[in-house]
Amino acid sequence: MTLFERLADYSRSGALPMHMPGHKRNVGAFPWLAGLGGGVDITEIEGFDNLNDPRGVFLELGRRLAALRGAEESIPLVGGSTLGILSSVRAVLGRGGGLLMARGSHMSLYHASELCGAEVRYLLPDVHPVLGCWGPVEPGDVEAALASWPEAGLVAVTSPTYEGVISDIAAISEVCHRHGLPLLVDGAHGAHLGFEGFPECPTRLGADIVVESLHKTLPSLTGTAALHMRGGLVDRDDVRRNVRLLQTSSPSYILSASIEGCVDFLEREGNTASRRWREALDAFYGAVRDLERLKVREDWGFPLHDPSKIVISCAGTDLEGHAFAGLLRERWGVELEMASPRYALAMTGMGDTGESLGRLASALRGADGLAGSAPTKALPGRVKLPERRLQIPEALKFEAEPVPTAAAVGRVLGEYLWEYPPGSPLIVPGETADEDIIGHVLGAADIKSERGMAPEYIFCLRGY
């Protein structure tokens, strides 16, 4: 009997719930909860195991996840990949360690560095000359960085990226292990990798810790994720302890049942479903191959790419990415995942079909007919980072003040400025804003700040 079936049986049993939650499964009195699973919503009671102290169904769920992903141990999470990232980094680095990570990493890795008071150094992949997104992390760059920084305690890369760029995890793992260091892969967008028709998953390629968001591409509810471990370079007891420390002490049984249902489905039909998905993607790419102005490519020249991330280039057209996304929304009812100045991203998942992807292809053909041409120029292949005056944990100890953004050139920031989505930083606390960064902030539509005053004001360190 599945966890969901057990929850449903218990709800029908007539047991008097003199325990949390306060709605008492009384969806008649609170009808908005009926469609949200309120009728089977419980707390930790006898017979239902505890996600933070798994001994029964949740212990078995972890074992099943590990078998699916080629891990030696897996932990189901209801706090998203963010929980897995924070727990993993804190377990490995403790206080004050060295974190080598890709600059385009998700905000959760930056927040993890704060929790640990870590010194951070960056891997800088090439930038795609048309799209402007980060390319793959190169194993040679990891080797060079570790050779020059023996104090590093952990290497972290994102694979696949938001745009589907996949790094050579097998080669990077080999480099890390030669230096005696574990490799953490933020695989939040790659829980489907390893199934038929898609590249291999990083757990099977040598990564020591892999964190995946089940909800992003698989049939599971938002906020569900998994943390996978293998090898002997990571203290798994410490990882588990940090998950307990950082995860809510009242984990949702509805979300947990969603993970179990996803695992049930993948065990029965994972490769069949992924094959159907891949066939639908192949048909989609064929249908948009001959667009005249918009460009859609399956790999965009990257050595490894996840085809489920559909990157649509607007470069060379008179449509800026956000305007293009707005056009698709208003004319064809298509809501894209994200947009940037030169491209937009359609995120597909195991729930997509030939029909849904055919509808997207039709909308793109329509938008292509409306787009005009415009000059564009290639972007520089390498990014120059802002000058760093302080490490992030040091900068956050100082008092910060709001400064009109246009007047912030030359000032040291006291907050992050994120390009969101995908949630990677334009500049971080302790770095100095230059004219290019300030111009980007003033002209961009997707800049977020932690204090919520950008783009009009940004917080800078007083006295810097």
pLDDT in tens, 16-56: 999 999 999 999 999 999 999 999 999 999 989 999 999 99
- pLDDT of amino acid 305: 97
- pLDDT of amino acid 451: 85
How many whole angstroms separate alpha carbon 348 and alpha carbon 226? 20
The residue to which tokens 């306060």 are assigned? 22
What would the pLDDT profile of 366-413 be if each residue is shown by its tens digit? 999 999 999 888 888 788 899 999 999 999 999 999 999 999 999 999
- pLDDT of amino acid 39: 94
pLDDT confidence bin for 421, thresholds 50/70/90: confident
State whether residue 253 is helix, strand or coil. helix
- pLDDT of amino acid 80: 97
Whether residue 196 contacts residue 55, with contact meaning beta carbons closer than 8 Å, is answered with no
Virtual CA dihedral for 279, 255, 83, 413, nearest 10 degrees? Answer: 80
- pLDDT of amino acid 424: 87
Q: What is the mean pLDDT of the chain?
A: 95
pLDDT confidence bin for 419, thresholds 50/70/90: confident
Whether residue 100 contacts residue 86, with contact meaning beta carbons closer than 8 Å, is answered with no
Q: Where are the domains of the chain?
A: 1-48, 50-266, 274-370, 392-461
pLDDT of 116 above 90: yes
Closest C-alpha to 425, from 435, 438, 415: 415
CATH superfamily, region 274-370: Aspartate Aminotransferase, domain 1 (3.90.1150.10)
Sign of the CA dihedral 63, 68, 73, 75?
negative
State whether residue 146 is helix, strand or coil. helix
CATH 3.40.640.10 is right for the domain spanning 50-266: yes
pLDDT confidence bin for 222, thresholds 50/70/90: very high
Lowest mean pLDDT among 265-269, 288-292, 372-376: 372-376
Strands 447-449 and 457-461: unpaired
pLDDT of 101 above 70: yes
* Cβ neighbours of 232 (radius 10 Å): 9
358 CB-side CA count, 13 A: 5
pLDDT of 98 above 90: yes
178 CB-side CA count, 13 A: 13
pLDDT confidence bin for 152, thresholds 50/70/90: very high
Containing 89, the helix (H) or strand (E) segment is helix 80-93
pLDDT of 201 above 90: yes
Whether residue 52 contacts residue 203, with contact meaning beta carbons closer than 8 Å, is answered with no
* For residues 77-90, average pLDDT: 98
Domains 50-266 and 392-461 share a fold: no
pLDDT confidence bin for 225, thresholds 50/70/90: very high
Q: What are the structure tokens assigned to 285, written together?
A: 């790419």
* For residues 275-303, average pLDDT: 97
- pLDDT of amino acid 445: 65
CATH number for the domain formed by residue range(s) 392-461: 3.90.100.10
Note if the pTM is more than 0.85. Answer: yes
pLDDT confidence bin for 458, thresholds 50/70/90: very high
pLDDT of 107 above 70: yes
pLDDT of 453 above 90: no
pLDDT confidence bin for 442, thresholds 50/70/90: confident
- pLDDT of amino acid 124: 96
